[in-house]
């Protein structure tokens, strides 16, 4: 079996070479010609998999090591009997940690309290449901918006988009649907962006076009009254550098880029391809140890400062923001290249389940939250 794998997929060669002959390629460089004599294709979100890419090739299996599938023409694959798998849920813990890292970083930076605050969670799938759990454990009033799930379970306490957008914190976790009753392109747009109250925290870590970047830039230019965090952008990798200058934190589509999240994506697709081939998986990942895994909390601190200390032991969103802002000095034709480089050269970020708190007895009121975050707790 001949397999082409995006070169930025963690352990891509090690895993898939146990199944067949592997060729690693840049995601944006995978072409129809390269696939002519290839049996399986493993990609990330930057490769558009459609008829123009696959027509006339031998591809019978496509896997994406990502949670989203908007870059995949699923109808074409089905029509041509091409087996498909995604890695839905692979990086949900990483994105959850990114979101709350951003929230607590903003709270500490501006001395904001979460007491009596509300959060609108738009999209309550693998990621949104985890954010719901941690938000409720922290005492936030949660407003969940998810029309497809609401249709399946009307009594589950979902709210309208308008209600979710009116919360103190608004975070998007929806797929990119380009049409239909659940269209999410420009879900936040010029007609409803004024529903977001001044002083609210707005986070998009789903897909760039979910938020109308021009409408957001217009609001921020006129008022600059929101704390905005964008991990995803319209027209990636050629993102709007002027919008970046107006927001609180920006990052290059890496909210889910923990080592565990990326490796989980590889594992999901690898096991699916093994199943397709009728063979038993023989590869499993080996994770390096985590340095500075002990988190020390001292003195009487506010909830916001305590949680900020915990989250920033593993990841500092300011570092990604700083790297992004350096791109604003680049020539416009180089912006996309540098955005892609930040993703390709991204450091290994580890998830909170690798960290330990050794004085948990002083944090007993946070037991539920810390357990949801999968921290190791010791008295």
Closest CA to 72 of 58, 61, 84: 84
Kindly indicate whether the domain formed by 92-253+317-344 is annotated with CATH number 3.40.50.720: yes
Does 253 participate in catalysis according to the annotation?
Answer: yes
Q: pLDDT > 70: what percent of the chain?
A: 99
pLDDT digit string (tens) for 182-224? 999 999 999 999 999 999 999 999 999 999 999 999 999 999 9
Would you say residue 301 has pLDDT above 90?
no
CATH architecture assigned to 2-86+258-277: 3-Layer(aba) Sandwich (3.40)
Q: Is the pTM of this model over 0.75?
A: yes
Is the CB of residue 25 less than 8 Å from the CB of residue 258? no
Q: How does pLDDT run across 324-373, given as a tens digit for each residue?
A: 999 998 898 999 999 999 998 998 899 999 999 977 666 778 889 999 99
Q: How far apart are CA 260 and CA 6, in angstroms?
A: 18
Domain 92-253+317-344 in the same topology as domain 2-86+258-277: yes
Domain ranges for the chain: 2-86+258-277, 92-253+317-344
Q: Of residues 93, 219, 234, 236, which has the active-site annotation?
A: 236
Residues near 154 by beta carbon (within 8 Å), at least 6 away in sequence: none
Is 97 a residue of the active site? no
SS (H, E, C) 212-273: CHHHHHHHHHHCCCCEEEECCCCCCCCCCHHHHCCCCEECCCCCCCEHHHHHHHHHHHHHHH
Q: How far is CA 124 from CA 111, 127, 170, 208, 233, in A?
A: 29, 7, 13, 18, 21
Q: Within 10 A of 242 (CB to CB), how many other CB atoms are there?
A: 12
How many residues in the chain? 379
- Tell me the per-residue pLDDT of 55-97, one tens digit each, with 9 for 90 and over: 999 999 999 999 889 999 999 999 999 999 999 999 999 999 9
- Which residue among the candidates 44, 71, 93, 207 is catalytic per the annotation? 207
Given 253, 308, 349, 350, the catalytic residue: 253
Residues 150 and 166: their CA atoms lie apart, in Å, by 19
Indicate if 93 belongs to the active site: no
Segment (H or E) for 352: none
* Coil, helix or strand at residue 79: helix
């Amino acid at each position: 079996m001949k397999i082409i794998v995006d070169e930025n997929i963690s352990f891509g060669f090690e895993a898939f070479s146990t199944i067949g002959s592997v060729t690693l390629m840049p995601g944006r460089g995978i072409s129809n010609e390269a696939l002519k004599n290839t049996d399986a294709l493993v990609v990330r979100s930057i490769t558009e998999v459609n008829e123009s890419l696959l027509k006339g090739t031998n591809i019978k299996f496509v896997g994406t090591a990502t949670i989203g599938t908007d870059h995949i023409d699923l109808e074409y694959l089905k029509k041509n009997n091409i087996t498909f798998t995604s890695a839905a849920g692979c990086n949900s813990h990483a994105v959850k940690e990114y979101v709350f890292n951003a929230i607590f970083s903003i709270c500490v930076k501006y001395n904001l309290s979460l007491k009596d605050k509300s959060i609108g969670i738009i999209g309550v799938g693998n990621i949104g449901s985890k954010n719901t759990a941690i938000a409720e454990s922290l005492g936030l009033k949660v407003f969940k918006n998810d029309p497809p799930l609401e249709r399946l379970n009307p009594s589950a306490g979902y709210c309208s988009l308008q209600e979710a957008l009116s919360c103190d914190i608004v975070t998007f976790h929806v797929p990119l649907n380009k049409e239909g009753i659940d269209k999410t392109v420009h879900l936040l747009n010029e007609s409803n962006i004024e529903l977001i109250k001044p002083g609210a925290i707005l986070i998009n870590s789903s897909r760039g076009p979910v938020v109308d970047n021009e409408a957001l830039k217009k609001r921020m230019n006129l008022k600059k009254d929101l704390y905005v965090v964008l991990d995803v952008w319209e027209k990636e990798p050629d993102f709007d550098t002027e919008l970046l200058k107006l927001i609180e934190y920006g990052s290059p589509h890496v909210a889910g880029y923990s080592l565990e999240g990326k490796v989980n994506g590889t594992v999901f697709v690898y096991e699916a391809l093994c199943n397709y081939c009728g063979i038993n998986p023989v590869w499993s990942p080996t994770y390096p140890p985590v340095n500075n895994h002990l988190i020390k909390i001292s003195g009487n601190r506010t909830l916001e400062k305590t949680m900020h200390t915990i989250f920033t032991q593993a990841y500092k969103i300011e570092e990604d923001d700083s790297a992004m802002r350096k791109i604003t000095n680049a020539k416009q034709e180089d912006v996309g290249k540098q955005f892609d480089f930040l993703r390709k050269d991204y450091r290994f970020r580890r998830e909170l389940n690798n960290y330990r708190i050794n004085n948990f007895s002083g944090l007993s009121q946070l037991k539920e939250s810390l357990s949801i975050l999968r921290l190791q707790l010791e008295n």
